[in-house]
C-alpha cells in the first residue's frame, strides 16, 4: 500500500491542476489556451488569453487579445440595447478582499479604453474553492451578454448603415458586411439611389463614384487590405452590372482598417463607403 501512495498522490495533484485549468478556461470563455466570447452569431477570439497574477487584479494581455477585446467593445457599440455582465473569480488560496469584482472591473476598464459604453457593462465577483496551480490565473472573468439581440443588425448586408456625413449631393452611402457575405439587392430604394448617382455624374462631368472598402482591426494589416479591396470590388461590380454606372465613372480601393478620422469606426467595420469624388 505504501508503494501506491506516491502515484495516488501525483494523480490527485494532476486532477486538481487540470480541474483548475479547465474551470478557469470556462470562466474566461476560452477553448484550450485561447480566449473566445460568443453572443449569438457574434464571436470574438484569440489564440491566447489575458491573465492575472495570483492574488492580483492587474490584468495582462497580448496585442492579439487586445484586438479580441476591441471586437467585443465594437459589438456593444453597434448594438445599443446590448449589455455585458462581467463576473470575476476569486480562487481558493488567493489573498485579498473582493478580488473577483476587482478583476471584473479591470476587464471593464480595458473595454472602456477601447470605447465600449461604460453604462452598459456591469461587474460582480464570485469565490470558487478550486485552487490555481502556477503563478498566474488564465482568464478568470466570465462574459455574459444580455439585452435585446443585435443579430438582425449584424446580418444586414444591403441596408444603409447611416451615421456618416451626407457628402456631395447627399450621395454618401455605407454598406456593412460583418458576416463577410454580400447580398446587395437591386430594390426600388437602390434603383432610386443609382438614378441619383447617374444624374449627378451627368450634371458634373469629370466627377467619379469612389468605392472604399474597410475592415475591422483583427488580423494582419496586409490581409485586411486584401479583404477590404475584395469588399469594395464586389460593390463596384454590383454598380457596374448592366452598365448601371459607367466604368470610367467609378473606381474602388481597399483601405484595410484605416478608418477615416471623421467617421465612426462602428460604421465601417467590414463595410464599404460609396461617395462622390469631384475632379
d(CA 171, CA 197): 7
pLDDT of residue 149: 46
Mean pLDDT (whole number) for 74-97:
85
Query: What is the share, in percent, of the chain residues with pLDDT greater than 70?
Result: 74
256-275 pLDDT, tens digit per residue, is 887 766 665 655 677 888 88
Which of 32-36, 38-42, 54-58, 97-101 shows the lowest mean pLDDT across its residues? 32-36
211-241 pLDDT, tens digit per residue, is 888 887 777 888 888 888 888 888 888 888 8
From the list 152, 234, 151, 244, the residue with the least C-alpha distance to 196 is 244
- Model confidence, pTM: 0.47
Cα radius of gyration rounded to whole Å, the chain: 24
Question: Are 124 and 88 contacting, i.e. CB atoms less than 8 angstroms apart?
Answer: yes
From the list 106, 155, 137, the residue with the least C-alpha distance to 24 is 137
pLDDT of residue 58: 93
Residue 271: which residues within 8 A CB-CB, separation 6 or more? 161, 174, 175, 176, 177, 213, 214, 231
Rounded (10°) CA dihedral 125, 127, 130, 133: 60
In the chain, the domains with their CATH numbers are: 13-152 (3.30.1330.60), 156-277 (3.30.1330.60)
Question: What distance, in Å, lies between the first and last C-alpha atoms of the chain?
Answer: 90
* Helix (DSSP H) and strand (DSSP E) numbers for the chain: 7, 12
Amino acid at each position: 500500500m505504501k508503494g501506491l501512495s506516491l502515484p495516488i498522490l501525483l494523480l490527485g495533484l494532476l486532477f486538481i491542476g487540470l480541474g483548475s485549468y479547465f474551470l478557469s478556461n470556462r470562466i474566461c470563455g476560452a477553448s484550450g489556451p485561447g480566449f473566445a466570447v460568443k453572443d449569438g452569431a457574434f464571436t470574438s477570439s484569440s489564440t491566447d488569453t489575458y491573465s492575472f497574477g495570483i492574488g492580483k487584479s492587474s490584468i495582462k494581455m497580448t496585442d492579439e487579445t487586445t484586438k479580441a477585446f476591441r471586437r467585443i467593445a465594437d459589438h456593444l457599440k453597434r448594438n445599443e440595447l446590448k449589455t455585458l455582465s462581467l463576473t470575476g473569480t476569486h480562487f481558493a488560496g488567493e489573498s485579498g478582499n473582493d478580488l473577483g469584482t476587482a478583476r471584473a472591473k479591470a476587464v471593464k476598464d480595458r473595454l472602456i479604453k477601447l470605447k465600449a459604453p461604460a453604462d452598459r457593462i456591469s461587474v460582480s465577483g464570485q469565490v470558487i474553492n478550486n485552487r490555481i496551480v502556477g503563478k498566474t490565473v488564465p482568464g478568470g472573468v466570465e462574459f455574459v451578454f444580455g439585452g435585446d439581440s443585435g443579430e438582425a443588425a449584424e446580418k444586414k448586408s444591403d441596408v444603409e448603415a447611416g451615421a456618416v456625413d451626407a457628402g456631395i449631393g447627399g450621395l454618401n452611402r455605407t454598406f456593412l458586411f460583418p458576416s463577410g457575405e454580400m447580398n446587395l439587392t437591386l430594390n426600388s430604394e437602390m434603383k432610386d439611389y443609382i438614378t441619383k448617382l447617374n444624374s449627378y455624374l451627368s450634371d458634373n462631368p469629370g466627377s467619379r463614384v469612389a468605392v472604399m472598402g474597410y475592415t475591422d482591426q483583427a488580423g494582419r494589416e496586409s490581409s485586411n487590405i486584401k479583404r477590404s479591396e475584395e469588399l469594395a470590388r464586389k460593390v463596384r461590380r454590383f454598380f457596374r452590372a448592366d452598365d448601371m454606372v459607367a466604368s470610367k465613372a467609378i473606381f474602388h480601393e481597399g483601405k484595410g482598417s484605416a478608418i477615416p478620422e471623421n467617421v465612426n469606426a462602428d460604421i465601417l467595420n467590414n463595410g464599404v463607403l460609396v461617395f462622390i469624388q469631384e475632379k
